Amino acid sequence: MSAYNPPTQTGGATSHTQPTISVSDTARSVEYTCGDCDAAVSLKRGEPIRCRSCGHRVLYKQRTNRMVQFEAR
Ligand SMILES: [Zn+2]
């Protein structure tokens, strides 16, 4: 057992910079309801509109009840 353990890093200067993501935009997740299996799907912005349980691409926005459909390319 060593009496003295020198710290490997002095100070709290973390040099690795994290990419700044606009949290206000990406952290927001919207609740959808699958139009096929009726499962609740919460998707963040930028995520593909797709049911996680059945893979259906027609989801209903729970807030507005407006249908959001992404057709297959
Ligand atoms: Zn589904």
Report the pLDDT value the prediction gives residue 67, as an integer from 0 to 100: 64
Report CA(6)–ligand 1 centroid distance (Å).
Answer: 55
Classify burial at 32, counting beta carbons within 10 Å of its beta carbon; exposed 0-12, middle 13-18, buried 19 or more: buried
pLDDT at 14: 60
What pLDDT is stored for residue 53 in this prediction?
A: 95
Residue 9 Cα distances to 13, 15, 45, 55, 61, angstroms: 9, 11, 38, 47, 49
The CATH number of the structural domain formed by 25-67 is 2.20.28.30
Hey, CA dihedral for 34, 38, 39, 44, is it positive or negative? positive
Query: Which residues place a Cβ less than 5 A from the ion ligand 1?
Result: 34, 36-37, 39, 51, 53-54, 56
Task: Per-residue pLDDT tens, the chain, 73 aa: give them.
Answer: 667 777 776 665 666 776 665 555 556 888 999 999 999 999 998 899 999 999 999 999 886 556 667 776 6
pLDDT of residue 28: 81
CA distance 44 to 24: 11
In this structure, what token pair is assigned to residue 37? 């299996």
